[in-house]
A = this chain, B = another copy of it.
Amino acid sequence: MNQADTAWMLISTALVLLMTPALAFFYGGLVRSKNALNTMMMSFVSLGVVGMVWAVIGYSLAFAPGNDWIGDASRLFLKGVGLEGVGPAGDQIPHYLYMCYQGTFAIITAALISGAIVERMRFSAYAIFITLWSIVVYSPIAHWVWGGGWLSKMGALDFAGGTVVHVNAGVAALVAAWVLGPRRDYRSTGLLPHNIPFALLGAGVLWFGWFGFNAGSAVAANGIAALAFTATMLAPTATLVVWMLLDIARTGKPTAVGTATAIVVGLVAITPAAGFVGPMSALLLGGLAAFPSYFGLLWRASTSFDDSLDVVAAHGLGGTVGALLTGVFAQKALNGVADGALFGNPGQVLIQGTAVLAAIVYSGVLSFVLLKLVGLVVPLRADRDDESVGMDVSQHGEEAYVHAEGSAAQV
């Protein structure tokens, strides 16, 4: 067992777990106050249901030997998972810890989807959906890339989950927003965020947690972790600056919501590349990634497609761009794994594209099927009145903020 690696992975796992409450604030601040709790609960419930299911089923399907497509059942209920070291000789960490680390990824990936369907999806339907989704969609794709499946054999590079996490969640979000349909008052009123400081808080803490996400994906406290850390720190700085300049060019005013979004987009885009690229490539990649998400978001907002918090633009597009640019900027000299197009290996971009496409198709189809199946059991949307009165009261029997006293009588 490498104790230094263990120390780093202990804190990395805690950091990634923290990202889900952070996401709750990033998303929760952007909705109207009558839906603030419901939006936050969509992240928190993932900590419960996906966390449990991961230990019982998901880990086995993703990381047990199995075949090229899916892990086998040999680690259901964490059978055979214990204190023994896993990983390359000299950099081993306890198997339990590795399982936990991967579990935090499953939790946040499922929670990411919620941004597309907030303010209207029935809470019970959502909870059932993400539970199944984490088993049926997330675990297999994780297996393809990190569990020894076909994409890893093909040589696809995905350092910390650009495809597994972000493209995957982005596509599921797209499908979900489309199946659910827009909020009833979408396009008729300005659905302005109720608490932008919460969104900034979420973005700030997400960045902090993302160091565990990306640099932790080295699964060791070594140079690769430092490389990934550097990329994770620098890429979003460039995205933030470019986004602000785009804001200024378009409307004269750099927005706070834009800044929060830019940080997330930069982090998403650097995720697949983090441990493969140098710092100047990271800056470039971060800056470039601002464009598709910025204009994608603009375009989406002009349509009747209500991906409420722009999960597709931020995670779907950002993840795709990141995955492709990983195939451009990767540098064998740094990581010993593979070169990208810029360093003489243009074929890598194709491999990257294949991986993205595979995730899009699989996640798209399966997410659709799952939603339809869940819809047979529980209506996916809240009732018209429940949506209008607000999801906090209708789904949870609570209001997020009560300022006056004496506004409630005990029954």
Q: Interface of A with B (CB < 8 Å)?
A: 1-8, 10-11, 13-15, 17-18, 20-22, 24-25, 28, 32-34, 36-37, 40-41, 44-45, 47-49, 51-52, 55-56, 77-78, 81, 83, 93-94, 96-97, 99-100, 103-104, 123-124, 187, 189-198, 200-201, 203-205, 207-208, 211-212, 215, 220-223, 225-227, 229-230, 233-234, 236-238, 240-241, 244, 248, 251, 253-257, 259, 263, 279-280, 283, 334, 392, 395-403, 405-410
B244 engages A45 (CB within 8 Å) = yes
A266 closest partner in B (C-beta)? B48
A405 engages B34 (CB within 8 Å) = yes
Q: 16 A-B Cβ contacts within 8 A? A: A3-B222, A7-B7, A17-B207, A21-B200, A32-B402, A33-B403, A37-B196, A41-B256, A47-B236, A52-B238, A94-B222, A96-B223, A99-B279, A192-B399, A196-B398, A254-B395
A83 engages B223 (CB within 8 Å) = yes
A13 engages B83 (CB within 8 Å) = no
The docked-state distance in angstroms from the alpha carbon of A6 to that of B397 is: 46
Nearest 10 CB-CB pairings of A with B: A21-B204, A190-B408, A51-B237, A3-B4, A48-B240, A94-B226, A7-B221, A7-B8, A97-B226, A83-B223
A233 engages B41 (CB within 8 Å) = no
B398 engages A244 (CB within 8 Å) = no
The docked-state distance in angstroms from the alpha carbon of A408 to that of B190 is: 5
What B residues does A22 contact at CB under 8 A?
A: 204
A259 engages B45 (CB within 8 Å) = yes
Main DSSP-derived SS at the A contact region: helix
A44 closest partner in B (C-beta)? B259
A241 engages B49 (CB within 8 Å) = yes
A201 engages B25 (CB within 8 Å) = yes
A191 closest partner in B (C-beta)? B405
A96 engages B254 (CB within 8 Å) = no
A20 closest partner in B (C-beta)? B204
A240 closest partner in B (C-beta)? B48
A123 engages B254 (CB within 8 Å) = yes
User: Which of A1, A223, A408 has the most B CB atoms < 10 Å from its CB?
Assistant: A223
| Contact among B32, B40, B230 with A256 in the assembled complex (CB-CB below 8 Å) | B40
* Contact A10:B221 (CB < 8 A) given known A41-B259, A190-B408: yes
* Contact A200:B396 (CB < 8 A) given known A52-B241, A221-B3, A222-B1: no
